Amino acid sequence: MKLFALVLLALMPLLAVAFDVDAAKTVGNAGAPVTIELYSDFQCPNCKMLHDQIIPQLLQEYVGTGKVYLVAHEFPLSMHAHSREAANYATAAAQVGKYQAVADALFRDQAAWSVTGKVWDTVATALTPAEQKKVQTLVKDPAVLAEVQKDVDMANANRIMQTPTMIVKAGNKSYPIGGTVAYSILKSFLDDRLKAK
């Protein structure tokens, strides 16, 4: 019994990493054969490239068809001055069902707020006045801040070294993919994983 308790205690962090997902930051069918966990930083240029060029195709061809379940995680790098603030706002916006809209706005205006630091000005463009009020309150909520920190901790636990990083999970295997990727190679990779299921 004591041994069982010790094993359970040792496995707790792993269980947390495996199942702790904010539903508001997910797209697609949770029962899809392939899950992609995407760790990104709103101030990172490669993340913008992935968000603008690869993710839309992925959503259309794999997520929309129930083949892939996409989960977004925050990984604001310390080298980017405003990315933590952006991640906090996006996570707060997720609580009012506006994660995707805010993420789109942040990547769209990345060049501007990265320089000026006026993150909120960009976030506000994706929200109604009522939502803006809620998000302004939520962004100070310790639970929201803790959620962002939990994502960072998960990234570190997964030994993620760069953004963007996709962790593709198919069956009991897990494949980290760092940086931007050519869609044709990613497609070939996903098709092989789906065939193998």
Partner 1 sequence: MTASRQSKPVRILAIVLRLALGGIFVYAAWIKLRDPWQLFAMAIDSYGILPLKYVELTAKVLPWIELALGLWLIAGKWMRIPSLGISLLLTLFFTLIVRAYIRGEEINCGCFGPGEAISWKTMLRDGSMLAGSYILTWLSFRRARPQPAALEPTPEFQYEQPRP
Residues near partner 1 (CB under 8 A) are 44, 46, 159-163, 165, 175-182, 184-186, 188-189, 192-193
In angstroms, what is the minimal distance from the CB of 159 to partner 1? 7
In angstroms, what is the minimal distance from the CB of 80 to partner 1? 11
In angstroms, what is the minimal distance from the CB of 93 to partner 1? 26
> Which lies closer to partner 1 via its Cβ, residue 27 or residue 49?
49
Identify which of 148, 106, 165 has the alpha carbon closest to the alpha carbon of residue 22: 148
Integer Cα distance of 96 and 136 in angstroms = 11
Integer Cα distance of 160 and 171 in angstroms = 21
> Which lies closer to partner 1 via its Cβ, residue 75 or residue 89?
75
Longest dimension (CA), the chain: 58
> Which lies closer to partner 1 via its Cβ, residue 94 or residue 160?
160
In angstroms, what is the minimal distance from the CB of 67 to partner 1? 16
Distance of CA 191 to the CA centre of its chain: 22
In angstroms, what is the minimal distance from the CB of 99 to partner 1? 24
Count of residues for the chain?
197
In angstroms, what is the minimal distance from the CB of 169 to partner 1? 14
Answer yes or no: are the C-beta atoms of 110 and 42 closer than 8 Å. yes
Tokens at residue 32, please?
């899809």
> Which lies closer to partner 1 via its Cβ, residue 64 or residue 179?
179
Residue identified by tokens 């990234």 is 155
> Which lies closer to partner 1 via its Cβ, residue 65 or residue 174?
174
DSSP 3-state assignment of 169?
A: strand
Helices (H) and strands (E) in the chain, counts: 10, 5
Integer Cα distance of 40 and 166 in angstroms = 9
> Which lies closer to partner 1 via its Cβ, residue 97 or residue 179?
179
